[in-house]
Structure 1
Amino acid sequence: SEMLTATFRGRPLNGKIERVPSGYTSIIMKEQRRPFTEEEERTVTVTHTFDKFHYWNLDKKPSADDRFSQMLDWVELSKTLHSPTEATVTSSQISNVSI
Protein backbone atom coordinates (compact mmCIF):
# COMPACT_ATOMS: atom_id res chain seq x y z
CA SER A 1 0.00 0.00 0.00
CA GLU A 2 0.97 3.64 -0.38
CA MET A 3 3.30 5.06 2.29
CA LEU A 4 2.31 8.39 3.80
CA THR A 5 4.44 11.03 5.53
CA ALA A 6 3.51 13.92 7.80
CA THR A 7 4.84 15.83 10.80
CA PHE A 8 3.37 16.41 14.24
CA ARG A 9 4.96 19.11 16.41
CA GLY A 10 8.08 18.90 14.25
CA ARG A 11 8.42 15.12 14.57
CA PRO A 12 8.24 12.95 11.42
CA LEU A 13 5.36 10.52 11.03
CA ASN A 14 5.27 7.61 8.59
CA GLY A 15 2.03 5.86 7.86
CA LYS A 16 -0.17 3.90 5.57
CA ILE A 17 -3.84 3.31 4.96
CA GLU A 18 -5.17 0.08 6.52
CA ARG A 19 -8.42 -1.65 5.62
CA VAL A 20 -10.70 -3.09 8.27
CA PRO A 21 -10.60 -6.91 7.97
CA SER A 22 -13.44 -8.33 5.87
CA GLY A 23 -16.45 -9.40 7.89
CA TYR A 24 -15.87 -6.67 10.48
CA THR A 25 -17.41 -3.22 10.84
CA SER A 26 -15.58 -0.38 12.57
CA ILE A 27 -17.70 2.15 14.37
CA ILE A 28 -17.30 5.48 16.14
CA MET A 29 -19.48 5.91 19.20
CA LYS A 30 -20.39 9.01 21.18
CA GLU A 31 -21.62 9.29 24.73
CA GLN A 32 -24.24 12.04 24.97
CA ARG A 33 -24.02 12.46 28.74
CA ARG A 34 -21.45 11.11 31.16
CA PRO A 35 -22.84 9.27 34.20
CA PHE A 36 -22.46 10.81 37.65
CA THR A 37 -21.50 7.50 39.29
CA GLU A 38 -19.84 4.23 38.22
CA GLU A 39 -23.06 2.32 38.92
CA GLU A 40 -25.16 4.48 36.59
CA GLU A 41 -25.87 2.99 33.18
CA ARG A 42 -24.03 4.50 30.23
CA THR A 43 -25.65 5.26 26.90
CA VAL A 44 -23.69 5.53 23.67
CA THR A 45 -24.79 6.12 20.10
CA VAL A 46 -23.09 4.96 16.90
CA THR A 47 -22.27 8.09 14.93
CA HIS A 48 -20.17 6.78 12.02
CA THR A 49 -18.79 3.62 10.40
CA PHE A 50 -15.60 3.22 8.36
CA ASP A 51 -13.81 0.56 6.31
CA LYS A 52 -10.29 2.03 6.22
CA PHE A 53 -8.12 4.26 8.40
CA HIS A 54 -4.69 5.92 8.54
CA TYR A 55 -2.08 4.13 10.66
CA TRP A 56 0.93 6.19 11.82
CA ASN A 57 4.36 5.42 13.30
CA LEU A 58 6.73 7.92 14.85
CA ASP A 59 10.22 7.94 13.29
CA LYS A 60 9.94 4.60 11.40
CA LYS A 61 8.13 3.19 8.40
CA PRO A 62 5.15 0.90 9.05
CA SER A 63 6.03 -2.78 8.70
CA ALA A 64 4.72 -6.26 9.46
CA ASP A 65 6.74 -6.15 12.72
CA ASP A 66 4.55 -3.38 14.19
CA ARG A 67 2.21 -4.50 16.95
CA PHE A 68 -0.70 -2.91 15.14
CA SER A 69 -0.08 -4.95 11.99
CA GLN A 70 0.35 -8.08 14.11
CA MET A 71 -3.00 -7.37 15.78
CA LEU A 72 -4.71 -7.33 12.38
CA ASP A 73 -3.06 -10.71 11.63
CA TRP A 74 -4.49 -12.08 14.87
CA VAL A 75 -8.00 -11.06 13.79
CA GLU A 76 -7.65 -13.31 10.73
CA LEU A 77 -6.01 -16.10 12.74
CA SER A 78 -8.74 -15.95 15.37
CA LYS A 79 -11.41 -16.25 12.69
CA THR A 80 -9.72 -19.42 11.43
CA LEU A 81 -9.21 -20.92 14.89
CA HIS A 82 -12.82 -20.38 15.91
CA SER A 83 -14.46 -21.47 12.67
CA PRO A 84 -16.35 -24.78 12.73
CA THR A 85 -14.59 -27.89 11.48
CA GLU A 86 -16.02 -30.96 9.81
CA ALA A 87 -13.79 -33.52 11.52
CA THR A 88 -14.82 -35.01 14.88
CA VAL A 89 -12.66 -37.00 17.23
CA THR A 90 -14.10 -39.67 19.55
CA SER A 91 -12.76 -40.54 22.98
CA SER A 92 -11.62 -43.97 21.73
CA GLN A 93 -9.48 -42.27 19.08
CA ILE A 94 -7.88 -40.08 21.73
CA SER A 95 -7.05 -43.02 24.02
CA ASN A 96 -5.21 -44.81 21.17
CA VAL A 97 -2.80 -41.93 20.60
CA SER A 98 0.72 -42.47 21.91
CA ILE A 99 3.08 -39.64 22.70
Structure 2
Amino acid sequence: MTVTREETKVRGPELAERVKKLIHEGNVRRIIVKDSRGHTVMEVPVTVGVGAFILAPVITAVSALAALAAEWNIQIDRTDDVSGESGSPPAGTASAGAGPG
Protein backbone atom coordinates (compact mmCIF):
# COMPACT_ATOMS: atom_id res chain seq x y z
CA MET A 1 0.00 0.00 0.00
CA THR A 2 1.44 3.33 -1.08
CA VAL A 3 0.46 6.62 0.54
CA THR A 4 0.62 9.78 -1.52
CA ARG A 5 0.29 13.28 -0.14
CA GLU A 6 -1.15 16.26 -1.93
CA GLU A 7 -1.96 19.77 -0.82
CA THR A 8 -4.57 22.15 -2.16
CA LYS A 9 -5.75 25.66 -1.28
CA VAL A 10 -9.39 26.59 -0.90
CA ARG A 11 -11.29 29.73 -0.02
CA GLY A 12 -13.44 29.81 3.12
CA PRO A 13 -16.84 28.90 1.64
CA GLU A 14 -15.36 26.00 -0.38
CA LEU A 15 -13.73 24.30 2.62
CA ALA A 16 -16.71 22.26 3.86
CA GLU A 17 -17.73 21.11 0.38
CA ARG A 18 -14.19 20.04 -0.48
CA VAL A 19 -13.82 18.07 2.76
CA LYS A 20 -17.19 16.34 2.16
CA LYS A 21 -16.09 15.28 -1.33
CA LEU A 22 -12.75 14.01 -0.05
CA ILE A 23 -14.41 11.90 2.65
CA HIS A 24 -16.64 10.21 0.07
CA GLU A 25 -13.80 9.41 -2.36
CA GLY A 26 -12.80 6.23 -0.54
CA ASN A 27 -9.04 6.33 -1.04
CA VAL A 28 -8.44 9.24 1.36
CA ARG A 29 -6.87 8.16 4.67
CA ARG A 30 -6.32 11.51 6.38
CA ILE A 31 -7.31 15.13 5.86
CA ILE A 32 -5.39 17.93 7.55
CA VAL A 33 -6.78 21.47 7.49
CA LYS A 34 -4.19 24.23 7.92
CA ASP A 35 -4.59 27.98 8.15
CA SER A 36 -2.88 30.38 5.75
CA ARG A 37 0.23 30.43 8.00
CA GLY A 38 0.61 26.64 7.83
CA HIS A 39 -0.62 25.86 11.35
CA THR A 40 -2.67 22.67 11.64
CA VAL A 41 -6.18 23.52 12.75
CA MET A 42 -7.88 20.14 12.30
CA GLU A 43 -6.75 16.61 11.48
CA VAL A 44 -9.36 14.08 10.41
CA PRO A 45 -8.46 10.40 10.06
CA VAL A 46 -10.86 8.94 7.48
CA THR A 47 -11.71 5.27 7.93
CA VAL A 48 -13.22 3.29 5.07
CA GLY A 49 -16.84 2.47 5.84
CA VAL A 50 -17.47 5.27 8.34
CA GLY A 51 -21.05 6.42 8.04
CA ALA A 52 -22.19 9.98 7.42
CA PHE A 53 -23.78 10.16 10.89
CA ILE A 54 -20.33 9.72 12.46
CA LEU A 55 -18.74 12.35 10.22
CA ALA A 56 -21.55 14.91 10.62
CA PRO A 57 -19.85 16.64 13.60
CA VAL A 58 -16.62 16.87 11.58
CA ILE A 59 -18.44 18.56 8.70
CA THR A 60 -20.12 20.95 11.15
CA ALA A 61 -16.73 21.86 12.65
CA VAL A 62 -15.21 22.36 9.20
CA SER A 63 -18.13 24.61 8.23
CA ALA A 64 -17.55 26.71 11.34
CA LEU A 65 -13.84 26.98 10.51
CA ALA A 66 -14.65 28.14 6.98
CA ALA A 67 -16.25 31.29 8.38
CA LEU A 68 -13.12 32.22 10.36
CA ALA A 69 -10.56 32.76 7.59
CA ALA A 70 -10.45 33.50 3.89
CA GLU A 71 -7.89 30.88 2.83
CA TRP A 72 -7.15 27.32 3.94
CA ASN A 73 -4.69 24.62 2.93
CA ILE A 74 -5.92 21.04 2.85
CA GLN A 75 -3.34 18.27 3.03
CA ILE A 76 -4.69 14.97 1.75
CA ASP A 77 -3.11 11.56 2.36
CA ARG A 78 -4.35 8.97 -0.17
CA THR A 79 -3.69 5.29 -0.61
CA ASP A 80 -3.62 3.34 -3.83
CA ASP A 81 -5.57 0.48 -2.22
CA VAL A 82 -9.03 1.20 -0.76
CA SER A 83 -9.75 -2.26 0.71
CA GLY A 84 -6.31 -2.96 2.10
CA GLU A 85 -6.10 -6.10 -0.04
CA SER A 86 -4.11 -6.68 -3.21
CA GLY A 87 -7.16 -7.79 -5.19
CA SER A 88 -5.80 -11.25 -6.01
CA PRO A 89 -6.98 -14.31 -4.08
CA PRO A 90 -4.56 -15.97 -1.67
CA ALA A 91 -2.51 -18.86 -3.07
CA GLY A 92 -4.46 -22.11 -3.28
CA THR A 93 -7.95 -20.56 -3.10
CA ALA A 94 -8.49 -20.12 -6.84
CA SER A 95 -9.17 -23.83 -7.39
CA ALA A 96 -11.08 -24.50 -4.20
CA GLY A 97 -14.68 -25.26 -5.02
CA ALA A 98 -14.09 -24.76 -8.75
CA GLY A 99 -15.76 -27.98 -9.86
CA PRO A 100 -19.20 -29.42 -9.18
CA GLY A 101 -19.24 -31.32 -6.08
For normalisation by structure 1, the TM-score amounts to 0.28
Structure that is richer in helix per residue: 2
Higher relative contact order (CA 8 A, sep 6+): 2
Structure that is richer in strand per residue: 1
For normalisation by structure 2, the TM-score amounts to 0.28
